[in-house]
């Protein structure tokens, strides 16, 4: 019955609304013709209620796609994230050229040594800014809109991590290509390079989790910038990213053992060598995966703290 | 869920104190009838936003509870979210996405897909006069366009209840009028329940089915605009003077008069509450005359919402706003 009525009701208005098409946008904004459409809204209101997309679909298709699209529209950001590792490679490559000749370093080409380190450091650097997207979303109401819609908190976290993982794959691949272009060699071949990119994704996602967690807790741009710059460089220098740990002071080598950045840098460097020690790589990757789990959980739980402060 | 509870909003004894010891809500209770336009009216900091945040599952109260469309917001927040649309004070649209992309993203989150989604998005773009700007990034939109997109976005899934926190702030008078036209039509035609917060007295007066006046975390009065005004017996005599100092002195004089129930100064204007405006006028004029202060103008006014607010909150709306 009610369906019949609604169809009958909407028909005359359909023809009546045709002249609207000729109107300018401003005109329509003034008048905002609603009656026909809205009457149908009322009839159909139950059709969409209770429905939500699955969390996996929400995270991957909808939210990750959104961030990728945004990135695509900020070419300057893409350019900056690519130019940065090039500077690192050229600068450190020139600065520490002679390092490879120091007895105990193991010989070889420093660019070959440096490239995996720069891959890991760049992955971390980019990921440490992930929380900025949350802070921006909180500031302009996008976060509130997601949180008042049936979007899972886990889906929000997963979207950010997936986005960060995907961009890291591209970024790392490009750095490897640039390293190769300026003289790095990868005796381990394709399997080694894929593994290097894989561990760079792990460290990036773990770092992105921390960044998101921190953003939800502090909600301040400045705090996140401070934390990122304070954390990333020391963690990098407390690892074998730039210099063999056999040449650094004992206490740094000791700390490096517990430093996820060193796990990633070591695993990545071993992987591209001629005869990779896969058990060592496996162990480091396992630790990194554990770090990812912990930081992702922390980032998801942090929504509670954020909402409590509202 | 019974049909009768669709669109109903019930809040009972909501209390909330923030960590900083600010008591935001001090026992808020009200019921919004299905399909009505309900305005929470109050100055900034009265507790309107906190109330909306609790009802839209963003925040939790320290005490009290609420049901939206018959669903408990504390027990089943996820279910509530699928039934409501919420527009916060900020825009809520993603700047770097186009209008169409923003609408499509929201629809996808609700599981609307493919042909259904495209149809619904186009429908909303037409309905809100955004079709021509559909392919433009939101950062190029004007304030009014953004507001319309915000509302269109949260209507994608045809919610039973729509919450809007200060939707007209920052809009010009035409924009405000257009927005209110959308809201009243939504309630009238689609039966959508609308809860809106505002600190504009005139808006609430003109457009809301029912108004709750919120002050310092409490509802001090509730009813239709006419009911609220009728609750105040008598009229106001407004005496405009040259300076605030003059106004203070005249307030003191008028307060002594037997015809005046209450006199208050708001800037250089003195507002005297009297039982019958025209009959009290001579006495008021004589009072001002005796003080020897020059008068710029005198008028008699039927009660306004400003008077209602003054009566219940003990200070004028402008004073509460800190303007």
B220 shares its domain with B148: yes
Q: Is the dihedral of CA B225, B231, B234, B240 positive or negative?
A: negative
Answer whether A41 sits within 8 Å of B133, measured CB to CB. Answer: no
Residues B196, B239 share a domain: no
Selected residue with higher pLDDT from B32 and A26? B32
ipTM of the complex: 0.82
What digits encode the pLDDT tens for the residues B51-78? 999 999 999 999 999 999 999 999 999 9
User: Is A76 part of the contact surface with chain B (CB cutoff 8 Å)?
Assistant: no
Is the CB of A141 less than 8 angstroms away from the CB of B89? Answer: yes
CB contact under 8 A, A142 and B186: no
Q: What is the structure's pLDDT at B322?
A: 62
Is B125:B100 a contact under the CB 8 Å cutoff? Answer: yes
Question: Looking at the domain assignment, is residue B7 inside a domain?
Answer: yes
- Say which CATH number the domain at B261 has: 3.30.70.920
Residues of A in contact with B167 (CB under 8 A): none
Same domain, B195 and B269: no
More confidently predicted of B234 and A183: A183
Question: What are the b/e assignments for B20-40, b being 16+ CB within 10 Å?
Answer: eeeebbbebebebebbbbbbb
Residue A19: the pLDDT is 34
Does residue B258 belong to any structural domain of this protein?
yes
Binary contact (A66, B60; C-beta < 8 A)? no
In angstroms, the CA A127 to CA A236 distance is 14
Cα Dmax for chain B: 78
User: Quick one: how far is CA B301 from the chain centroid?
Assistant: 23
**Considering its fold, how many domains does chain B have in total?**
2
Query: Tens of pLDDT along B258-287?
Result: 888 888 888 889 988 888 888 888 888 888
What's the pLDDT score for residue B4? 58
Question: What's the pLDDT at A38?
Answer: 38
- What's the token pair of residue B33? 């009838």
- Between CA A103 and CA A72, with CA A86 as vertex, the angle to 5 degrees is 150
Residue of chain B minimizing CA distance to A152: B78
**Helix runs in chain B, H state only:** 48-55, 77-83, 99-109, 114-127, 143-154, 173-185, 201-207, 225-230, 244-256, 277-291, 305-313, 317-321
pLDDT attached to residue A6: 36
**Min distance B39 CA to chain A CA atoms (Å):** 20
pLDDT tens across B87-128, in order? 998 888 999 999 999 999 999 999 998 899 999 999 999 999
Same domain, B34 and B177: yes
In this prediction, residue B90 carries a pLDDT of: 86
Task: Please report, for the domain that includes residue B206, its CATH number.
Answer: 3.40.50.300
Chain B residues with CB inside 8 Å of A14's CB? Answer: none
Residue B148 to residue A35, Cβ atoms within 8 A? no
Q: For A34, which of B97, B108, B186 is closest by C-beta distance?
A: B186
Cα distance between residue B152 and residue B91, in whole Å = 12
Q: Is residue B61 part of a domain?
A: yes
* Residues in B touching A50 (Cβ below 8 Å): 79, 82-83
- The pLDDT value recorded for residue A214 is 96
Given this model, what pLDDT does residue B28 score?
Answer: 95
Nearest CA in chain B to A63: B105
Domain assignment present for residue B109? The answer is no
pLDDT along chain A (310 residues), means of 10: 36 34 34 36 44 85 90 90 88 84 79 94 94 93 93 93 95 94 93 97 97 95 93 91 88 93 95 94 96 97 89
Mutate to test the interface with A, among B78, B99, B190 (most CBs of A within 10 A): B190
Task: With H, G, I as helix, E, B as strand and everything else as coil, classify residue B38.
Answer: strand
Phi-psi region of B67 (alpha: psi -120 to 50; beta: other; left: phi over 0): beta
Chain B contact present for A74, CB below 8 A? yes
Kindly give, in sequence order, each residue whose CB lies less than 8 Å from that of residue A181, ignoring residues fewer than 6 positions away.
Answer: none
Domain that holds residue B266: 233-302
Determine how many CB atoms are found less than 10 A away from the CB of residue B244: 12
> Shortest CB distance from A38 goes to which of B58, B92, B189?
B189
**Tokens at A194, concatenated:** 């894929």
Same domain, B249 and B269: yes
Whole-model pTM: value is 0.81
Domain boundary among B224, B247, B276: B224
Name residue B266's beta-bridge partners: B269
Task: Note whether B16 and B82 are same-domain residues.
Answer: yes
pLDDT of residue A46: 44
| Distance between A119 CA and the closest CA of chain B, angstroms | 29
- For residue A66, the chain B residues in CB contact (below 8 A) are 94, 97, 105
Q: Is B35 inside any structural domain?
A: yes
Q: Do residue B154 and residue B22 come from a single domain?
A: yes
| Domain-located, residue B202 | yes
Same domain, yes or no: B277 and B245: yes
Mutant choice from B108, B141, B149 vs A, greatest count of A C-beta within 10 A: B108
Report, as an integer, the average pLDDT of B145-156. Answer: 93
pLDDT > 80? residue B225: yes
């Amino acid at each position: 019955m009610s369906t019949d009525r609604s169809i009958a009701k909407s028909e005359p208005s359909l023809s009546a609304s045709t002249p609207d098409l000729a109107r300018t946008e401003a005109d329509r904004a003034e008048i905002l013709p609603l009656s026909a459409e809205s009457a149908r809204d009322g009839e159909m209101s139950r059709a969409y209620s209770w429905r939500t997309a699955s969390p996996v679909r929400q995270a991957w298709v909808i939210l990750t796609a959104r961030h990728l699209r945004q990135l695509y529209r900020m070419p300057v950001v893409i350019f900056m994230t690519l130019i940065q590792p090039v500077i690192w490679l050229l600068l450190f490559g020139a600065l520490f050229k002679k390092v490879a000749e120091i007895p105990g370093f193991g010989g070889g080409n420093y660019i070959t040594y440096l490239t995996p380190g720069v891959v890991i450091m760049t992955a971390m650097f980019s990921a440490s800014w992930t929380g900025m997207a949350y802070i921006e979303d909180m500031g302009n109401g996008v976060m509130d809109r997601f949180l008042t819609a049936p979007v899972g908190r886990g889906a929000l976290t997963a979207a950010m991590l997936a986005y960060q993982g995907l961009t890291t794959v591209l970024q790392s691949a490009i750095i490897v290509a640039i390293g190769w272009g300026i003289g790095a060699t990868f005796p381990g071949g394709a399997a080694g390079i894929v593994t290097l990119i894989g561990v760079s994704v792990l460290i990036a996602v773990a770092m992105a989790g921390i960044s998101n967690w921190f953003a939800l807790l502090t909600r301040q741009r400045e705090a996140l910038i401070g934390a990122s710059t304070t954390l990333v460089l020391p963690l990098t220098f407390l690892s074998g990213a730039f210099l063999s740990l056999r040449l650094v002071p004992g206490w740094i080598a000791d700390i490096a053992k517990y430093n996820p950045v060193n796990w990633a840098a070591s695993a990545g460097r071993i992987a591209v060598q001629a005869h990779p020690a896969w058990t060592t790589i496996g162990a480091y990757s396992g630790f990194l995966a554990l770090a990812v789990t912990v930081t992702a959980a922390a980032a998801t739980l942090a929504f509670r703290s954020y909402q409590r402060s509202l | 869920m019974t049909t009768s509870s669709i669109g109903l909003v019930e809040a009972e004894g909501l209390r909330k104190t923030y960590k900083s010891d600010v008591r935001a809500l001090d026992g808020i209770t009200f019921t919004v009838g299905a399909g009505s336009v309900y305005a929470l009216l109050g100055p900034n900091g009265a507790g309107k936003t906190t109330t909306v945040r609790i009802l839209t599952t963003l925040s939790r109260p320290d005490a009290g509870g609420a049901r939206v469309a018959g669903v408990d917001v504390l027990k089943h927040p996820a279910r509530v979210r699928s039934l409501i649309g919420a527009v916060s004070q900020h825009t809520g649209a993603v700047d770097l996405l186009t209008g169409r992309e923003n609408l499509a993203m929201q629809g996808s989150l609700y599981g609307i897909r493919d042909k259904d989604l495209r149809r619904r998005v186009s429908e909303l773009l037409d309905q809100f006069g955004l079709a021509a700007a559909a392919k433009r990034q939101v950062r190029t939109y004007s304030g009014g366009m953004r507001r319309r997109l915000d509302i269109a976005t949260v209507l994608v899934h045809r919610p039973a209840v729509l919450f809007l926190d200060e939707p007209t702030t920052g809009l010009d008078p035409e924009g405000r009028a257009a927005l209110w036209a959308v809201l009243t039509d939504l309630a009238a035609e689609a039966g959508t329940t609308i809860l809106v917060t505002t600190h504009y007295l005139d808006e609430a007066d003109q457009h809301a089915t029912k108004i709750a006046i919120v002050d310092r975390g409490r509802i001090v009065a509730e009813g239709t605009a006419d009911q609220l005004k009728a609750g105040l017996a008598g009229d106001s005599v407004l005496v405009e003077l040259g300076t605030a100092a003059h106004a203070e002195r005249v307030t003191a004089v008028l307060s002594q008069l037997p015809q005046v129930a209450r006199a208050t100064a708001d800037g250089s204007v003195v507002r005297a509450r009297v039982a019958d405006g025209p009959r009290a006028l001579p006495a008021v004029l004589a009072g001002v005359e005796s003080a020897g202060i020059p008068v710029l103008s005198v008028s008699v006014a039927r009660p306004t919402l400003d008077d209602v607010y003054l009566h219940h909150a003990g200070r004028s709306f402008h004073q509460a706003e800190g303007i």
